[in-house]
Amino acid sequence: MERHGLRFNKGYGQNFLINEAVPKRIAAECGAEADEGILEIGPGIGTLTCELCRLYKKVVAVEIDTSLIPALQETTAEFDNLTILNADVLKVDLPSLIAKEFDGMKVTVCANLPYYITTPILMGLLESGCRFENITVMIQKEVALRLCAKPGDADYGAVTASVARYGQVSRLFTVSAGSFMPAPKVDSAVIRIKIDAVRRYTVKDERIMGRTIRGAFAQRRKTLVNSLASEFGELNKEAIAEVVIAAGLAPDVRGERLGIPQFAALADALTAALGK
């Protein structure tokens, strides 16, 4: 970085891996097969990228910071199975990118994510309509615990349920702050979301499902009926109470007790009540 006159850009969540064992392990355990394509987000100066290029057929790496690209090209020069894209992953048209670069291959996402946009990136990937095999990412440990929580756990929340709709989340290993430069103030963990080949719970209206999950957790201390009422202003509380009963749930249940099957039943009952 010194040779290229580079500085860490905190605004882009730049904490680069300096412990060689960590990118090796992330690449090896990301869940992909050797003939799969890999989408990497935020390659930085290529520590994880090189390991991915060694193990998998093709890698596409999307990096927002233009100033890093020459250093990244240098560290990855030996690989001819890498495409570097200088772009903001939140603005990329993922289905077009995947179709163009991977041409029918299976694709796994593997990344050490910029922590300031973990949730938008994860939800953007899951809701993109692209069928990824796995999404294996290093994130803040606290967020990893939340994503791995089960209904009823203190850490279970809207983001847990939103991600659980798409696959099975498992925590692979934790990484200490000393493995990065600069060292982040928080601990990190690598999680893998094994995406379900077939969606386990289909609903009539995906947007209502999203609103149902958000609404159920909007006011955690309130009952489900009261919490949903704040999201679904179109319906009065009596109508929402009927919906909750129609979905087979107790009227005084709390959102944090519900798993995906219950949210799906509730979303369909709300869709019917809204006359959609």
Closer CB to ligand SAM, 88 or 93, in the complex: 88
Q: Is position 88 an interface residue for ligand SAM (rule: CB under 6 A)?
A: yes
Q: Find the part of the chain contacting ligand SAM (CB under 6 A) among 51-59, 76-84, 85-93, 229-237.
A: 85-93
List CB contacts of 95: < 8 A, sequence separation 6 or more. 128, 129, 130
CA dist list (Å): 249 to 59, 228, 239, 255: 46, 14, 14, 11
Q: How far is the CB of 97 from ligand SAM (least distance, A)?
A: 12
**Residue number with the smallest Cβ distance to ligand SAM:** 42
Q: Map the footprint of ligand SAM across residues 152-211, applying CB under 6 A.
A: none
Q: How far is the CB of 89 from ligand SAM (least distance, A)?
A: 4
Closest CA to 165 of 191, 127, 135: 127
Q: How far is the CB of 92 from ligand SAM (least distance, A)?
A: 8
Residue 209 φ then ψ, to 5° = -60, -45
List CB contacts of 172: < 8 A, sequence separation 6 or more. 29, 136, 189, 190, 191, 192
Q: How far is the CB of 36 from ligand SAM (least distance, A)?
A: 19
List CB contacts of 216: < 8 A, sequence separation 6 or more. 158, 161, 224, 227, 228, 255, 256, 258, 263, 266
Structure tokens at 198: 């077939």
Closer CB to ligand SAM, 86 or 226, in the complex: 86
Closer CB to ligand SAM, 73 or 230, in the complex: 73
- Give the integer Cα–Cα distance in Å for 124 and 35: 25
Q: Map the footprint of ligand SAM across residues 96-125, applying CB under 6 A.
A: 112, 114, 117
Task: Give 121-141 as a DSSP string.
Answer: HHHHHHTTS---SEEEEEEEH
Q: How far is the CB of 116 from ligand SAM (least distance, A)?
A: 8
The length of the chain in residues reads 276
Q: Map the footprint of ligand SAM across residues 41-70, applying CB under 6 A.
A: 41-44, 47-48, 62-65
Closer CB to ligand SAM, 60 or 117, in the complex: 117
Q: How far is the CB of 157 from ligand SAM (least distance, A)?
A: 23
Closer CB to ligand SAM, 65 or 268, in the complex: 65
- What number of chain residues touch ligand SAM (CB under 6 A)? 22
- Give the integer Cα–Cα distance in Å for 89 and 5: 25
> Contact residues for ligand SAM (CB under 6 A)?
12-17, 41-44, 47-48, 62-65, 88-90, 112, 114, 117
